[in-house]
Amino acid sequence: MTTSASAAAGLAAECARCSAAKRVALSGLAERLGIGVLTYTQGASGDGFLDLAQIRSGLRAGARLVAVSSPSNPTGAVASAAVLRSLVALVREFGAYVLSDEAYESVVFAGGRAPSPLADGGADVTLAARTFSKTYSMTGLRVGALISPPRFRAAAAALHGTTAGCAPVTAQVTAIEALSSLPDRADQLSATYLARYRTAMRILGPWAPRTPVETLGGFYVWLDTRSTGQTSAEVCAALRDRGVVTSSGLVYSATDGFVRVSLTAPDDVLARALTLIREQLDRLAARAR
């Protein structure tokens, strides 16, 4: 999309075959505000996570906000600290900012936290959105935080106050208790989902991504199902008929033929579901040949 004459454009990430989560919602909101949205290619974990040349091109075209999601939903790719430092330097060169979606920043299979553009001097150009939903399994309570440069805080508070208001006191108390009583929660979750991802790779076999698992994060597996000859919706429907609920790749991407599998079920339930997924995908692929 071209930039708007009346407002700066934002850059939303689009992975090699998928976009960052909420791509459609972000683009739709921007359109309603008269803001143009450009895209850049998001790659694998590490230094290649961002296509800085594409981002520079977008900034030259007038973009002033670069959206980043690491670990990426749905691929699980994690940006390196080095590429984020380069991004910070790049947006500062153009007087732009970074919107960093850090919902899964504590679920990193290599351990620790995902690198953030907030670090190494990037706090003055970064707006980082974090949530209790993933780390503390508090999705329904809707507690989170926006870390931003001082100049944006009053406007952000005014917008939040008129559209959402304060989180209920019960949610706030629960969040405080989670922080004080679960200090090792992030490490525990990372270890749990690393083990489940390895289980998924073993059971799914050729359907599993070939990406080294230690470079990933999050709690989902991104499957390329195009060899079945079915659309994402058709694959999800076939799996649903087998009693397995998955997410169509079109929720995250404009490219059809992908399915996201969540790893949040108990281990025994997950193993049965993954086995059914493997069986169904094998069956669909055999029919397509």
Over range 145-165, report the average pLDDT. 91
Average pLDDT over residues 99-105: 96
CB 88 within 8 A of CB 126: yes
Spatial CA neighbour of 262 closest among 226, 236, 231: 236
At 1-10, the pLDDT tens digits run: 333 333 344 5
- SS3 assignment, position 21: coil
The alpha carbon torsion through 179, 181, 187, 189 (nearest 10 deg) reads -90
pLDDT 10s digits, 227-261: 999 999 999 999 999 999 999 999 888 889 999 99
Between CA 94 and CA 9 the distance in angstroms is 13
- As a three-state string, the secondary structure of 31-82 is HHCCCCEEEEEECCCEHHHECHHHHHHHHHCCEEEEEEECCCCCCCECECHH
Output the CA angle 240-245-249, nearest 5 degrees: 100
41 within 8 A of 93, measured Cβ to Cβ? no
173's CB contacts (< 8 A; 6+ apart) are none
Q: How far apart are CA 51 and CA 15, in angstroms?
A: 10
| Residue range 47-67, pLDDT digits in tens | 999 999 999 999 999 999 999
Percent of the chain with pLDDT over 90: 77
Q: Once rounded to an integer, what is the mean pLDDT over residues 138-162?
A: 91
What is the average per-residue pLDDT within 122-129?
96
Specify the pLDDT at position 37.
87
How far is the C-alpha of 110 from the C-alpha of 32, rounded, in Å?
40
> 98, exposed or middle or buried, with CB in 10 Å at 0-12, 13-18, 19+?
buried
- Structure confidence at residue 23 (pLDDT): 56
Out of 25-39, 90-104, 135-149, pick the least confident. Answer: 25-39
CB atoms within 10 A of CB 72: 31
User: Please, are residues 100 and 144 in contact by the beta-carbon 8 Å criterion?
Assistant: no
DSSP string, 200-258: HHHHHGGGS--S-GGGBBSSEEEEE-GGGT--HHHHHHHHHHTT---EEGGGT-SSSSE
Q: Which helix (H) or strand (E) holds 86?
A: helix 81-93
Q: How much is the pTM? A: 0.88
- Could you tell me what percent of the chain has a pLDDT over 70? 91
Ranking 2-16, 149-163, 180-194, 266-280 by mean pLDDT, the lowest is 2-16
What rounded mean pLDDT belongs to the chain?
90
pLDDT classification of 32: cutoffs 50, 70, 90: confident
Asked if 150 contacts 126 with a C-beta cutoff of 8 angstroms, the reply is: no
Q: What angle do CA 100, 263, 256 make, to 5 degrees?
A: 70
